[in-house]
Amino acid sequence: MKSWKIRMVLLMGTISIVGIVLVQIYWVRQAFDTRNRQLRQTISIALINVANKMAEFNGGALPNANPVIQLSGASYIVNVNDVIDAGVLEHYLKSELHYRGLNLDFEYAIYDCSSDSMVYGNYVSTSESDKPEKPSGTFPRLDKYTYYFGIHFPYFSGYLLNSMRIWILSSVILLAVIVFFSYAMFIIFRQKRLAEVQKDFLDNMTHEFKTPISTISVAADVLSRPDIVQNPQKLFTYASIIRSENLRLQEQVEKILQLATLDRTSIRLHPGKIDLHELIGNLIKNSEPNLTPRNGKIETHLHAEKFNVTADRVHLTNVLFNLLDNAVKYNRREPLIVLATGSDAKQLTLTVRDNGIGIPPEYRKKIFDKFFRVPTGNVHDAKGFGLGLSYVKSIADAHGWDLMVTSDVSTGTEFTIKMNIDTSD
């Protein structure tokens, strides 16, 4: 799929999901408000009925005004206007609430005018098992009335939410859809990147292999001419061209096979104590052939006081060689590479700095990915497979080293490796 199409799908998908989420939030709130209002209304009606029944029981009548006052939360005060018998009240409360399908626990208290306080009545549970240890409600006094009772529903919120189950379920399903959509998008983007990287890799490989193959083919053509035996010098030259190009091809194939299949978790190290300064010295000598054609120079600032590390010599050499190779390859000036070391009590810091083309910030994290190369359009001025730094990272991880990169497109790049110092004698 083309890049813009994927972006389009993502945009449309996001817009639809945001829309659906907003509609869902609106309806859930709407449903919640309605249900809340409905429940409270039913409770009020039940309590008015209880007050009327109590008045009837006492042979009196209630004043015209609404006898029910809703306090904060799920507490109510009900004016009865006559003495209250706790047993009768509890009976009426139970039957009225049950009649209206309100399966709610409640507790009540009756105002006692002789002590001017609320006297706790009882906690009435709809099921025997979840009776709380202690009553939770407090019942405030109300100076306005003389005969009244207070009622509190401790599980009102839970009851309300429970009656909204279908809404909660639909919201959970919606959430699952969003998670699934995001995951699908993530996979699509990852696949797309992988496909791009693989395509680049194949392009590079084709490019790298074409040159030696065509050189070998030309040389072989020359060698198959009958008159070549008369010219042993030419024969020797072309034979050695074939040999060296073949060697190059072999090296390339080996590198790809080894590095591309290298698994970060299964690298086998053969660690030993290494004098890093000595290793750097050897490395510089062996890098001559790489540097001379470009007029490159290596400067060293080896300031580390302790410079022994425990590492796999072959892998560490390859790591430094890869970094030096990049420092020369990605450079348009005469390469000037600075190799520096420093140490504190525990760690040795090694930096490789170059004056090359630098790495744009958006690619700095990706350069350690297998097959990744900073895009240069169709210009293949520096050859490679994007395997070097992925190898460097794998080896650093396997040793437990920190690997960092800082870069500036105008001054160059610096790779830093922090290793533990080997303090054994």
Ligand X SMILES: Nc1ncnc2c1ncn2[C@@H]1O[C@H](COP(=O)(O)OP(=O)(O)OP(=O)(O)O)[C@@H](O)[C@H]1O
Q: Does 390 bind ligand X (CB under 6 A)?
A: yes
Site string for ligand X, 309-348 (x = CB under 6 A): -------------x---xx--x------------------
Q: Distance between CA 390 and CA 397 in Å, rounded?
A: 11
The DSSP code sequence of 32-90 is HHHHHHHHHHHHHHHHHHHHHHHHHHTT----SS--EEE-STTEEEEE-SS---HHHHH
Q: Phi, psi at residue 333, to the nearest 5°?
A: -100, -170
* Least separation in angstroms between CB 320 and Mg ion: 12
Q: Does 357 bind ligand X (CB under 6 A)?
A: yes
Rounded (5°) CA angle 333-393-397: 150
* Least separation in angstroms between CB 335 and Mg ion: 14
Q: Does 394 bind ligand X (CB under 6 A)?
A: no
Q: Does 291 bind ligand X (CB under 6 A)?
A: no
Residue nearest to Mg ion (CB): 388
Quick one: 387 or 398, whose CB is closer to ligand X?
387
Report the DSSP beta bridge partners of residue 119.
110
Site string for ligand X, 54-93 (x = CB under 6 A): ----------------------------------------
Q: Does 356 bind Mg ion (CB under 5 A)?
A: no
Pick what 107 binds: Mg ion, ligand X, none; C-beta below 5 to 8 Å, kind-dependent. Answer: none
Q: Which stretch binds ligand X (CB under 6 A): 6-14, 92-100, 214-222, 386-394?
A: 386-394
Quick one: 287 or 326, whose CB is closer to ligand X?
326
Query: What angle do the packed helices 3-57 and 165-223 form, to 10 degrees?
Result: 170
Q: Which stretch binds Mg ion (CB under 5 A): 198-206, 272-280, 353-361, 383-391?
A: 383-391
Tokens of 254: 């080996």
Q: Does 413 bind ligand X (CB under 6 A)?
A: yes
Q: Does 367 bind ligand X (CB under 6 A)?
A: yes
* Least separation in angstroms between CB 255 and ligand X: 7
Tokens of 260: 């591309």
Q: Does 326 bind Mg ion (CB under 5 A)?
A: yes
Q: Distance between CA 159 and CA 145 in Å, rounded?
A: 30
Q: How many CB atoms lie within 10 A of CB 343?
A: 17
Quick one: 358 or 388, whose CB is closer to Mg ion?
388
Q: How many CB atoms lie within 10 A of CB 80?
A: 25
95, 253, 379 from 215: Cα distances, Å? 101, 17, 21
Q: What is the CA radius of gyration of the chain?
A: 41
Q: Distance between CA 323 and CA 288 in Å, rounded?
A: 15
Q: Does 394 bind Mg ion (CB under 5 A)?
A: no
Figure out which of the listed residues 54, 151, 387, 417 binds ligand X, where binding follows CB under 6 A: 387
Residues of this chain that interact with Mg ion (CB under 5 A) are: 326, 384, 388
Q: Which residues bind ligand X (CB under 6 A)?
A: 322, 326-327, 330, 354, 356-359, 367, 372-374, 384-390, 413
